[in-house]
Amino acid sequence: MLNQSLGNVSRDSGVQVMAKHGNHSRNASNASSNYTTDDFEHREPWKLDRKTIIITIGLILFIGASISYIYFPLLLRRIIQSFINVKPDGEFYDFWLQSSEPTEVGIYFFHVENPWAVENGLEKLRVREMGKYMFKQKFIREIANFSDDKTMVNFTERRYFYFDPEKTTGSLDDNITVVNVPYAALSTLLAKAEDSVPLFSGFSILSHFSYRSVNLFLEKHNQHLFINTTVRELLYGYKLDILDTAESYSGMFERFGIDIMPRELFPNNSFGILNGRNGTPDGPYEMYTGLGGTADLFGHFKAWNGLTKLDIWKGDTCNMINGTDGTIWPAGVDKKDRLYFYIPDICRSLYVTFQEESQFKGIKTYIFSTPDSLLAGKRTNPDNACFCMEEDEDLAEKRCTLDGIFDASGCQKGIPLIISLPHFMGADKRITDNIEGLKPNATAHRPELHVEPIMGTVIHGDSRLQMSIRVPPNNYLRGFDKIQDDLYIPIFWGYKKLGMSDEVAVELNCRLFIPVKVIRYVLILLFLTGICTTLIGGIYAIIENKQRIFELLLQDEVEPYVKSYSNAKYQAIDKERGMARVESETSDLGDANDNSYPNTPRSSTINLPELSALVQSTETDI
């Protein structure tokens, strides 16, 4: 009978019971929000639960690591700037003051194989590379003074070259045929003198002496466009009697303001690649020390020889003394940077641009090299137009539009020395088509600087440049009258290799680069840990929330059935007891007043198997 009664219990009766006991029931659709006043009064005080702690920790790690990673390069740059400066008691000072290790310098000469045929206009110029001839170079900087605020330092620089026979291919006594630079410059210098001081229309000072006298003078001294000498003389200087004789005439020309034989280019009336350079002071320079708010200008020259800008070229941009010495730049080099360096020998600032990332002895570097625009003609790169010194429009159109060369005559007293990359790499075909034997190679001939971006210092580098001379035709001058067009004759090309010793590389790795890598990896690890922790906390919160909602829904669905079950049970008990009272007529009348029934607890025992089946049915409904 009890089971039959339970089977007849309907959801309507459960709803009625829920309505009767409204303070203890909830609707399934708003189970999470429909609480009574008693519920709030008996809630525990708020406290951090596990999921909140996990999410908070994850967000702190994520945000903290992100901010630290973004601002770490700026912080590192400030730290580097604090010790990479020219401070007398600083750690970088001794490194800057003098070279701790010699720099490797190599020179290759161009031997002319057909000098007589070229001079007589019979063949193209044919050259063959000779060398390499190796030197060790050291420098010493002599400080004159610091500015009062220590932001500027004034100094001169001396460079010393020591021949290295062990690494040299060949000997200093090797015979070589090269262009005779003083003689080759004569045509240009005489043309300059002829055009600069005309006495009257159609008559110049040079016409007064006539080219015939000049030719007799050159023939007497047995001068030719090419000269056979030794590598030793070509390096350290060979004396020419013609220069002694020319010096006697130069005084006469100087009265008219013409310097036909610049003495500073030919000291002691001799010519040599290293003549007058070994140990000779260069400068003075005025350079930013990196102190007192000049960290972003560290190593840059403010002045050279007392000049803040030159007065040589035809524009302010070209006359700028811009950049460093080519070995250091301010800390924090970026791939977008254009790194300038000033070369006094050519009175010009050059620049390099980023090419690719690389490594040297385990140190990450940026490779910077010269772009094509650096030595481009004015038509290709209009910014270079102010380097053109030709007054004649036809000559300017002819010479200043050539790509791949730089005419340094403005810096060399009118002598047309030409700067280019080795073997005229990247030069105009109007130049290279007239020369045989050139073998340009990007790997061997393109300048490369491995710059460590954090410090802004050259870790390894090969600076490579070639020097040539332009020989123009001259129908009235012996040795030049059979040349058909401007002839660009290469003299030599050289490189300077900058390198860091293994000991210094290991020390830098241990003290700077490895700790920086560790810090970056730790920040990345914290960043990822923060993300993972936040996700775990979020997933945990979602699962816990769904579980809680499920429990509330389950409670709302089961509670009516439990109460209906209890009510049905009590009804069955009442019915059975009523039947018992009818059947037991012999019972004491006091039994009618029996208080056991009213005191029967409402939490009578429930049939657990039936309740379990009921819960499973409810879960299925949910």
Structure confidence by residue, pLDDT tens digits, 17-26:
344 444 444 4
Supply the pLDDT for residue 101: 79
Looking at the structure of the chain, the number of domains it has is: 3
* Residue 376 binned pLDDT confidence (cut-offs 50, 70, 90): very high
189 within some domain = yes
Q: Which ranges of 222-373 would DSSP assign to H, the alpha helix? A: 231-236, 241-254
Supply the pLDDT for residue 563: 64
Residue 216 and residue 231 in one domain? no
49 within some domain = yes
Which among 448, 450, 474, 475 is positioned nearest to 460, based on CA atoms?
Answer: 450
Residue 357 and residue 462 in one domain? yes
3-state class (DSSP) for residue 35: coil
Supply the pLDDT for residue 397: 92
271-285, 422-436, 505-519: lowest mean pLDDT where?
Answer: 505-519
* Residue 118 binned pLDDT confidence (cut-offs 50, 70, 90): very high
* Residue 398 binned pLDDT confidence (cut-offs 50, 70, 90): very high
95-99, 147-151, 405-409, 450-454: lowest mean pLDDT where?
Answer: 95-99
Residue 263 and residue 301 in one domain? no
Asked whether the beta carbons of 206 and 268 are under 8 A apart, the reply is no
597 within some domain = no
553 within some domain = yes
Q: What is the C-alpha separation between 35 and 555, in angstroms, rounded?
A: 14
Supply the pLDDT for residue 22: 43
Residue 117 and residue 229 in one domain? yes
Supply the pLDDT for residue 214: 73
- Rounded mean pLDDT of 420-441? 95
- Output 446 or 222, whichever has higher pLDDT: 446
Asked whether the beta carbons of 150 and 87 are under 8 A apart, the reply is yes
- Output 266 or 408, whichever has higher pLDDT: 408
Q: Which ranges of 446-513 would DSSP assign to H, the alpha helix? A: 502-508
User: 419 pLDDT exceeds 50?
Assistant: yes
Supply the pLDDT for residue 179: 92
- Rounded mean pLDDT of 194-208? 52
Residue 138 and residue 185 in one domain? no
Supply the pLDDT for residue 16: 42
Q: How far, CA to CA in Å, does 434 sit from each of 335, 338, 378, 438?
A: 38, 34, 22, 10
87-91, 415-419, 453-457: lowest mean pLDDT where?
Answer: 87-91
* Residue 295 binned pLDDT confidence (cut-offs 50, 70, 90): confident
* Residue 174 binned pLDDT confidence (cut-offs 50, 70, 90): very high
Residue 472 and residue 347 in one domain? yes
Supply the pLDDT for residue 19: 41
Of 500, 517, 551, which residue is a domain's last?
A: 500
Q: What is the C-alpha separation between 481 and 90, in angstroms, rounded?
A: 62
**Where do we find the tokens 């300038």?**
340
Supply the pLDDT for residue 197: 54
- Rounded mean pLDDT of 255-277? 68
* Mean pLDDT value across the chain: 78
Residue 217 and residue 280 in one domain? no
Supply the pLDDT for residue 4: 42
User: 30 pLDDT exceeds 50?
Assistant: no
DSSP string, 256-323: TT--SS-TTTSGGGEE-TTTTTTT-EEEEEEEE-S-TT-GGGTT-EEEETTBSB-SSSSSTTTTB--S
| Residue ranges making up the domain that contains 319 | 102-180+224-237+272-500
* Residue 584 binned pLDDT confidence (cut-offs 50, 70, 90): low
Share of the chain above pLDDT 70, in %: 73
Q: Are strands 125-146 and 435-436 parallel, antiparallel or unpaired?
A: parallel
Residue 250 and residue 279 in one domain? no
- Output 331 or 618, whichever has higher pLDDT: 331
* Residue 154 binned pLDDT confidence (cut-offs 50, 70, 90): very high
Q: Which of 62-66, 487-491, 573-577 has the highest mean pLDDT?
A: 487-491
- Output 401 or 224, whichever has higher pLDDT: 401
- Output 532 or 559, whichever has higher pLDDT: 532
Residue 443 and residue 367 in one domain? yes
The C-alpha angle 501, 507, 510, rounded to 5 degrees, equals 140
Q: Which amino acid appears at position 542 of this protein?
A: I
Supply the pLDDT for residue 67: 81
248 within some domain = yes
Residue 398 and residue 476 in one domain? yes
User: 235 pLDDT exceeds 60?
Assistant: yes
Residue 369 and residue 403 in one domain? yes
Asked whether the beta carbons of 459 and 435 are under 8 A apart, the reply is no
82 within some domain = no
- Rounded mean pLDDT of 414-426? 93
Supply the pLDDT for residue 254: 56
Q: Which amino acid appears at position 597 of this protein?
A: Y
Supply the pLDDT for residue 498: 83
Give, for 479, the enclosing helix (H) or strand (E).
none
608 within some domain = yes
Supply the pLDDT for residue 603: 45
User: 114 pLDDT exceeds 60?
Assistant: yes
User: 349 pLDDT exceeds 90?
Assistant: yes
310 within some domain = yes
Supply the pLDDT for residue 320: 94
User: 432 pLDDT exceeds 90?
Assistant: yes
Q: How far, CA to CA in Å, does 474 sit from each of 36, 217, 227, 301?
A: 113, 16, 19, 42
Residues in CB range of 431: below 8 A, 6 or more apart: 402, 404, 405, 424, 488
- Output 210 or 140, whichever has higher pLDDT: 140
Residue 229 and residue 129 in one domain? yes
Residues in CB range of 584: below 8 A, 6 or more apart: 591
User: 303 pLDDT exceeds 50?
Assistant: yes
